[in-house]
């Protein structure tokens, strides 16, 4: 699956893509939906390259593309990423190769398309800091999984010290259906949710603002072409189908959650806000960062419908993840956000393909643009908790920030930023851009 679009010697004619520290070098080329900030432009699809956006509507209008590539650009020029997703992996790979060649330094390839785009740079590029971003596609359905075994174990110990993982956890990818209407793009701010909760020493529940507001560090997977109703995906089909990945913050009202989650699971504690990063990093861009995947030999092994040689060989993804917190006082003082933790998506207990295969195993029809959350991605060490619930041991041990403030759960004005980056020897590092969300009173 590694091809010329992963060439480590390739550079772009967009200078900012060649700096070595950008999230968006030539080898990434993620998709997002944007318009010029403050304008009345229609939303359009673009590709991030360095600190710029390649406007695919403007690029398509150059009319210099081969017929098959021009056809692939057509829905994107109309701002419709879902229609492109529906065309499947062959279309995804073909357009990636064409865009890579068109953005590569013409001195390396002699590409006429690259020269044409470079000459028209003022018309086809927009600086990212001059763009307004939206959700990258129409999200039809959203399912949140629970693949972070370290999170599940740590949280389970808070409630069931002797039996933290329920019996089904190591057999089946657990998930629940979430709420699409409250998903927002990075930069989202939201009101502190209200809800019903019951204090341990209270005789009756009360209703009011959430007092135990938390974040959850996740990745989000966008479905590609999907499957027809009644036709489950095999593991091979699931592996080929998924379109790409974003960072995802599954905000959580812990006090509401504790009171409501039995017997039917999360509801109002989870559906008031979800924030995703604006750029979908495609499966092809992530190919160099695949890793071997297996459950420990002492654990139950996946049932046949959740297993394949390809999944064992390279089903995992090495994505380094971080969470940063900036309080309103830090922001007012010009102080940067403080890093709270680091973890890696390679530690997930179930792979992307297993999530898709299981979701469709009963005949459920996944559709282009459906979103799957991974569940909280914590690491094995206590300081790698992917939520404040873990880092503060259930709210019992406050965190002290560099400016002397403390946090048990989030306060009004707090901003959480998620970062993700893939890097290894022999590959060009890529990233996801920031996923930022802020709590309002």
Burial 182-208 (b: 16+ CB within 10 A, else e): bbbbbebebebbebebeeeeeeeeeee
Q: What whole-number distance in Å separates Cα of residue 290 and Cα of residue 232?
A: 24
Active site residue 359: no
Q: Which two tokens stand for residue 100?
A: 């890579």
Contacts of 174 (CB under 8 A, 6+ apart): 145, 146, 168, 375
Q: What whole-number distance in Å separates Cα of residue 15 and Cα of residue 18?
A: 6
Residue whose tokens read 């309080």: 327
Q: Which two tokens stand for residue 436?
A: 């930022």
* 373 neighbors 276 (Cβ within 8 angstroms): no
State whether residue 369 is helix, strand or coil. coil
State whether residue 254 is helix, strand or coil. helix
Q: Which helix (H) or strand (E) holds 406?
A: strand 406-407
Q: What whole-number distance in Å separates Cα of residue 383 and Cα of residue 323?
A: 12
Q: What whole-number distance in Å separates Cα of residue 291 and Cα of residue 27?
A: 19
Q: Which helix (H) or strand (E) holds 237?
A: helix 235-241
Residue whose tokens read 């098959």: 68
Q: Which helix (H) or strand (E) holds 208?
A: strand 206-209
Task: Give the alpha-carbon dihedral of 193, 199, 204, 205, to 10 degrees.
Answer: 10
Contacts of 114 (CB under 8 A, 6+ apart): 13, 101, 102, 103, 104, 105, 106
Catalytic residue among 6, 151, 358, 419: 151
Partner residues linked to 371 by β-bridges: 142, 222
Residue whose tokens read 């990063």: 277
Return the active site residues. 151
């Amino acid at each position: 699956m590694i091809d010329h679009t992963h060439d480590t010697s390739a550079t772009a004619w967009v200078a900012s893509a060649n700096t070595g520290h950008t999230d968006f070098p030539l080898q990434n080329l993620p998709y997002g939906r944007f318009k010029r900030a403050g304008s009345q432009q229609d939303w359009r699809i673009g590709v991030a390259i360095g600190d710029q956006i390649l406007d695919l509507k403007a690029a398509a209008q150059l009319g210099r593309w081969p017929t098959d590539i021009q056809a692939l650009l057509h829905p994107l020029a109309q701002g419709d990423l879902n229609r492109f997703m529906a065309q499947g992996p062959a279309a995804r790979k073909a357009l990636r190769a064409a865009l890579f060649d068109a953005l590569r330094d013409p001195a390396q390839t002699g590409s006429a398309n690259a020269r044409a785009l470079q000459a028209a740079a003022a018309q086809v590029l927009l600086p990212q800091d001059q763009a307004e971003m939206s959700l990258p596609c129409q999200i039809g359905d959203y399912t949140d999984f629970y693949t972070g075994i370290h999170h599940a174990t740590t949280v389970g110990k808070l409630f069931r010290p002797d039996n933290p993982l329920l019996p089904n956890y190591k057999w089946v990818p657990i998930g629940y259906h979430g709420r699409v209407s409250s998903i927002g793009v990075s930069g989202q701010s939201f009101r502190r949710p209200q809800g019903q909760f019951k204090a341990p020493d209270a005789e009756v529940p009360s209703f009011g603002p959430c007092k135990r507001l938390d974040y959850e560090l996740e990745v989000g997977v966008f479905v590609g072409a999907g499957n027809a109703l009644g036709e489950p995906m095999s593991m091979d089909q699931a592996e080929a189908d998924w379109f790409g990945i974003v960072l995802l913050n599954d905000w959580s009202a812990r006090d509401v959650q504790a009171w409501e989650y039995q017997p039917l699971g999360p509801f109002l504690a989870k559906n008031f806000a979800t924030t995703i990063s604006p750029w979908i990093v495609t499966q092809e861009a992530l190919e160099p960062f695949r890793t071997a995947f297996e459950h420990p030999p002492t654990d139950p092994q996946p049932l046949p419908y959740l297993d394949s040689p390809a999944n064992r060989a390279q089903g995992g993804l090495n994505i380094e993840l971080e969470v940063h917190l900036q309080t309103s006082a830090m922001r007012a003082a010009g102080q940067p956000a403080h890093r709270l933790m680091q973890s890696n998506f390679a530690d997930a207990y179930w792979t992307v393909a297993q999530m898709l295969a299981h979701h469709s195993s009963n005949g459920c029809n996944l559709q282009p643009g459906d979103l799957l959350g991974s569940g909280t991605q914590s690491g094995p060490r206590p300081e790698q908790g992917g939520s404040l619930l873990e880092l503060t041991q259930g709210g019992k041990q406050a965190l002290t920030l560099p400016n002397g403030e403390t946090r048990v759960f989030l306060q009004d004005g707090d901003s959480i930023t998620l970062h993700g980056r893939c890097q290894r020897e022999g590959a060009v590092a890529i990233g996801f851009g920031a996923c930022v969300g802020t709590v309002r009173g």
